Amino acid sequence: MTERSVTVLVTYQGEVLGQVGPFPVAHPRWQQTGGVAEGAERLLGVPVLVLRLLTHGGTGGVGGEVAYHVEALGRPPVTLAPTALEVGADPLRALWATPDGLRAALDWAAERAGATGPVRQEKSWNLSGLYRLPVGEGAAWLKTTPPFAVDEALVIRHLASVAPESVPAVLAAEPGRLLLGDAPGVDCWGLPEDGMLAAVPRLAAAQAALAGRADGLPDRTPRTLVSAFAELLPRLTGLTTEERTAAARLLTELPSIVDELAACGLPETLVHGDFHPGNWRYDGERTTLIDFSDSYLGHPAVDGLRPRDFLAEERWLTVRRLWIDAWTTHAPGSDPARALELAEPLVHLGYAVRYQEFLDGIEATEQVYHAGDPESEVRAALAALAALDRS
């Protein structure tokens, strides 16, 4: 991946001081802000907080020329260049994308965690901010979330009631803020594959245990998708006339597909919602699930299918078999293999609805991360429907 070339607009206590950069940041993904903060601090001589993306010249959230707004935590002892970048205003701006909002969240977390050193910023974008707070020999993690995110503390409490070893500890929580204990290890991108594989049957077992017990979660069960997609379809201006016609036909077929899926015999339960390897942490012994901001009450095949887009074909076939075997055990008489086939177009439509919720809830400069995603998911649903054998 290509590194970023980063410029930052610097403010201090409400005053625009100017800009520094461009400077290179090795990690290419725009929302990974740790390297941005480190580079800005080297040039400015004071600590900073990265607040938000301002402009971008790359594509897909990766590489290119990117500009951010940073708040200095002291007046820099250097002269900054004049800037044409603007802080601007937007009613949908996230609280953690403002100086006062982020300071308040960090102070809240530091007090409750008993932080023993300065915070380290890891990630910030329209869906969340992630910050590491040193606590003794370990760490705690602050996650900031938008109004349209799910109550992750509730999700974790549900999972902890049946699989406490699979989730991090909730240290404190209030709307828009979540303080978690450490989840040691590394994300399961690529290797270690053993940790990734252990997560699949473990989640299935927890979901089976939580069937009928996951109270308080948003209802995104398959039957709710029919009306949600009916409301979404007229808004998708990026579809061609042919795609819109095909999507309208799909809408008429959804009730029967939902009925067929229900007949497969798997229970509606807590769904992680984004069950890919980056949300599994592995320390050599234990696999911990993280990031429950898209969780809901729904069909477990959503999680069964999610890893496929992130795995090589051989690895996906292994994961698929693990998932099918687990649900065959936990739901005797069910047909989990057929459920995966029937669920695929529904899964894509569910993501289309969710991506539109993101676009409706985030400020203009952040929409680049998700622009066109609802239409892309509808196209994927149409392709899945075409490949579905309903004979």
**307 and 285 in a common domain:** yes
Same domain membership, residue 100 and residue 68? no
The separation between the first and the last C-alpha atoms of the chain, rounded to the nearest angstrom, is 44
Both 314 and 224 in a single domain? yes
What is the Cα–Cα distance from 94 to 361, expressed in whole angstroms?
A: 9
Any idea which of 81-85, 141-145, 235-239, 307-311 has the lowest mean pLDDT?
307-311
| 3-state SS class at 170 | strand
- Least confident range from 59-63, 205-209, 306-310: namely 59-63
pLDDT digits (tens, 9 = 90+) for 131-162: 999 998 899 999 999 999 999 999 999 999 99
Let me know whether 195 and 172 are in one domain. Answer: no
Mean pLDDT of 87-114: 94
- pLDDT score of 196: 76
Q: How large is the average pLDDT for residues 103-117?
A: 94
Query: Which of 169, 138, 155 minimizes the C-alpha distance to 215?
Result: 155
Q: What is the mean pLDDT of residues 285-291?
A: 89
Q: Which among 14, 7, 5, 18 has a CA at the least distance from the CA of 76?
A: 18
Residue 130 binned pLDDT confidence (cut-offs 50, 70, 90): very high
Domain for residue 86, yes or no?
Answer: no
162 & 232 share domain? no
Query: What is the pLDDT, as a whole number, of residue 391?
Result: 60
Mark whether 330 and 228 lie in a shared domain. Answer: yes
Asked whether 187 and 277 are in contact (CB, 8 A), the reply is yes
Check residue 193 and give its pLDDT.
Answer: 67
- pLDDT, average across residues 213-241: 95
Calculate the alpha carbon distances from 338 to 318, 320, 346, 350 in Å: 17, 12, 13, 19
Q: Which of 22, 24, 19 is nearest to 48 (CA)?
A: 19
Does the pLDDT value for residue 71 go beyond 90? yes
Does 273 have pLDDT greater than 90?
yes
Examine the domain organization and report whether 235 and 318 are in the same domain. yes
Average pLDDT of span 170-189: 91
Predicted confidence (pLDDT) at residue 288 exceeds the cutoff of 70:
yes
pLDDT above 90: residue 28 = no
Q: Is there a domain that residue 81 lies in?
A: no
8 Å CB contact between 349 and 378: yes
**Domain-embedded: residue 143:** yes
E strand or H helix at 48, and its extent? strand 48-56
pLDDT at 22 over 60: yes
Domain match, 160 and 232 both = no
Last residue of a domain, one of 147, 181, 215: 181
Same domain, 247 and 364: yes
Check whether residue 232 and residue 314 sit in a common domain.
yes
Which distant-in-sequence residues (6+ apart) come within 8 Å of 36 by Cβ?
Answer: 4, 6, 8, 25, 50, 68, 70
> Dihedral of CA 59/61/62/68: which sign?
positive
Lowest-confidence segment of 53-62, 186-195, 361-370 by average pLDDT: 186-195
Tell whether 154 and 301 lie within a shared domain.
no
pLDDT at 191 over 70: no
- List, for residues 311-352, the tens digit of each pLDDT value: 889 889 999 999 999 999 999 999 999 999 999 999 999 999
**Residues 6 or more apart in contact with residue 31 via CB below 8 angstroms:** 61, 123, 124, 125, 369
CATH of the domain at 353: 3.90.1200.10
Same domain, 157 and 30: no
Q: Evaluate whether residue 82 is within a structural domain.
A: no
Domain final residue pick, 72, 88, 114: 72
What's the number of domains the chain is made of? Answer: 3
Q: What pLDDT is stored for residue 188 in this prediction?
A: 80
* Domain range for 19: 4-72
Question: What number is the average pLDDT over the span 192-203?
Answer: 82
Q: H helices within 114-192, ranges in order?
A: 152-160
Q: Is there a domain that residue 299 lies in?
A: yes
Is 78 contained in some domain? no
- CATH code where residue 119 lies: 3.30.200.20
Say what the pLDDT of residue 139 is. Answer: 93
The pLDDT, as a whole number, for residue 190 is 67
Give the pLDDT confidence score for residue 57 in this predicted structure: 84
For the stretch 347-383, pLDDT in tens is: 999 999 999 999 999 999 889 899 999 999 999 999 9
Sequence letter at residue 193: E
In a domain, 91, yes or no: no
Domain boundary among 181, 197, 229: 181
Is 85 a domain residue?
no
Mean pLDDT of the chain: 93
d(CA 104, CA 65): 30
> In percent, how much of the chain has pLDDT > 90?
81
Which amino acid does the sequence have at 104?
A
Q: Is the model's pLDDT at 1 over the cut of 60?
A: no
